[in-house]
Structure 1
Amino acid sequence: MKQITDIMEEKALPIIDKIYYDGFIQGLIHADLSEEAVVHYLKADALYLANFSDIYALLLAKSDNKDEKNFFLSQINFVLNEEIAAHKNLADYIGRDYNEIIKGGEWYPSADHYIKHMYYNAYAFGMAETLSAMAPCPWIYAKIAEKILAENKLADDHPLKFWVEFYAGDLAKDCLHWYYRIINRLAEHMSIADRKRLIKNFLESCEHERKFFNMAYTQECWELKE
């Protein structure tokens, strides 16, 4: 019998090609991504990751398992202190100081909708629902990075090769191992309706991921101002 996380991935797989062929990733592959797109992405993603770490803290409080708590603690450290390396690679690519870029961080519409989707599940439901909404973040980044490496021969001096290799490494896989272990364990005791919610959360977040990249590529902003 398939585990629920297998079903999630199977249903979401078609979006990988769509994200891969969208403008942001193609620009990254060909090293012609605009400065405006990179700045927009970094301003949004710095805020997104800070809140992602806060959601890990909520999960830490929900768990009564020491190993799971240690995992969430390690992920807070990774998101706040290690993933910044991939961000700095993008900043270096456009010749800008990373810390100066993110000073103007802003919740653009697609990023705002995405993080609220996660917070809603964290406050309204339990760990499985929250993690099913969070899982597409590491899953999609890993799948996209692996696809880039499989289908393109990036030169050693490619300015964004570090970004690709960072997300194609074992970090995302190790993270998903824990996510899926928790989700599958909790899903065993759920009703059919609750299990469907997990799948729905995962699929919705996959669409949010695509919109996040496109948000940066098109420099999406709120139309109405204060």
Structure 2
Amino acid sequence: MTFSQDVLTRAQPIMDAIMSHPFVQSIADGNVPDDILNYYVEQDEHYLKDYLQVTALTVTKTTDADDIARLLETAQFVSDESKAHEVMLNVTGHHIENWRRSPETQLYTDHMYTSAYHGTYADAIAVLLPCAWSYGVIGCELVARGANNDANPLKEWIEIYAPKANDDIDYNAWRFDALERAVANLNDSQKEHVAQTFLKSLEMEWRFWEAAWKQTQWQFDF
């Protein structure tokens, strides 16, 4: 079993919980409450800016020209991801107001920066990977379920994240390949640290959905 296969096996319970989360199920049904969509978009706006910066930091941790090119290409996709936000905001009529970062958003982005700054190239890849991978799984499974029907106001959102048969590059396959190459010369303890980095990010993905669903806020003003 490869490192990636082992990590994905360990990750399956978290991914199952994401797929069964009421927010994701409501996206499939096309009936997410407006306040939840607005919260999600506001927090994701914060998250994606940090994701871009962590991606840029990850570029500095490798000399592999192909990996650098792929990282820059994925950064471009993230910068264009505002289209997914527009789909949701077209449903609610909300306009971005730069709400305060929620506790879960702060926790997640702190984890990303810490892993990328202080970890290996493998840690940097691992901390970023669960976001792209989990959204690809969501998109693929919802399309397979027929959730991207014309009656669903979030049809386009689902299709943005679903892998396309005519895509030139399978970026998630590349990400896991890069991860395999990055851990190749690490010892068992270092590999486990990378695995924990990946799994923590994936749990933070679940927590991100949960925070939006429950409208989590800071308890006090400061």
Q: 1:123 deviation in Å?
A: 0.9
1:126 corresponds in structure 2 to 120
1:89 corresponds in structure 2 to 87
* Equivalent residue letter for 1:85: K
* Equivalent residue letter for 2:152: H
Query: Please, which runs of 5 or more residues in structure 2 have no aligned partner?
Result: none
2:44 corresponds in structure 1 to 45
Deviations 1:21-77 (A, max 9, x none): 222112212222111101110111011001100011111122212222222221222
Alignment of 1:1-226 (within 5 A): 2-80=1-79, 82-96=80-94, 100-101=95-96, 103-170=97-164, 174-226=170-222
Q: 1:153 deviation in Å?
A: 4.7
Q: Contact 1:63–1:69 at 8 Å: present in 2 too?
A: yes
d(CA) in 2 for partners of 1:118, 1:153: 31
Q: Contact 1:46–1:105 at 8 Å: present in 2 too?
A: no
Q: Contact 2:148–2:156 at 8 Å: present in 1 too?
A: no
Report the aligned-residue RMSD: 1.6
Q: Find the residue that maps to 2:60 and give its secondary structure.
A: helix
Q: Find the residue that maps to 2:170 and give its secondary structure.
A: helix
Q: 1:204 deviation in Å?
A: 1.1
d(CA) in 2 for partners of 1:160, 1:179: 27
Q: Find the residue that maps to 1:201 and give its secondary structure.
A: helix
Q: 1:152 deviation in Å?
A: 3.9
d(CA) in 1 for partners of 2:21, 2:189: 33
Q: 1:9 deviation in Å?
A: 1.0
d(CA) in 2 for partners of 1:215, 1:145: 20
Q: 149-158 or 59-68, which moves further after superposition? A: 149-158
Identity %: 26
Deviations 1:96-129 (A, max 9, x none): 3xxx32x323210111111111111111112101
d(CA) in 2 for partners of 1:140, 1:21: 13
Q: Contact 2:147–2:155 at 8 Å: present in 1 too?
A: no
* Equivalent residue letter for 1:83: E
Q: Find the residue that maps to 1:225 and give its secondary structure.
A: coil
State the number of aligned residues.
219
Shift in alpha-carbon separation, 1:218–1:84, aligned structure 2, 3 A: same
Q: Contact 1:53–1:75 at 8 Å: present in 2 too?
A: no
TM-score, structure 1 normalization: 0.91
Q: Contact 2:39–2:212 at 8 Å: present in 1 too?
A: yes
d(CA) in 2 for partners of 1:4, 1:159: 39
Query: Please, which runs of 5 or more residues in structure 1 have no aligned partner?
Result: none
Q: Contact 1:108–1:220 at 8 Å: present in 2 too?
A: yes
* Equivalent residue letter for 2:180: N
Deviations 1:136-161 (A, max 9, x none): 10111111222222234542231101
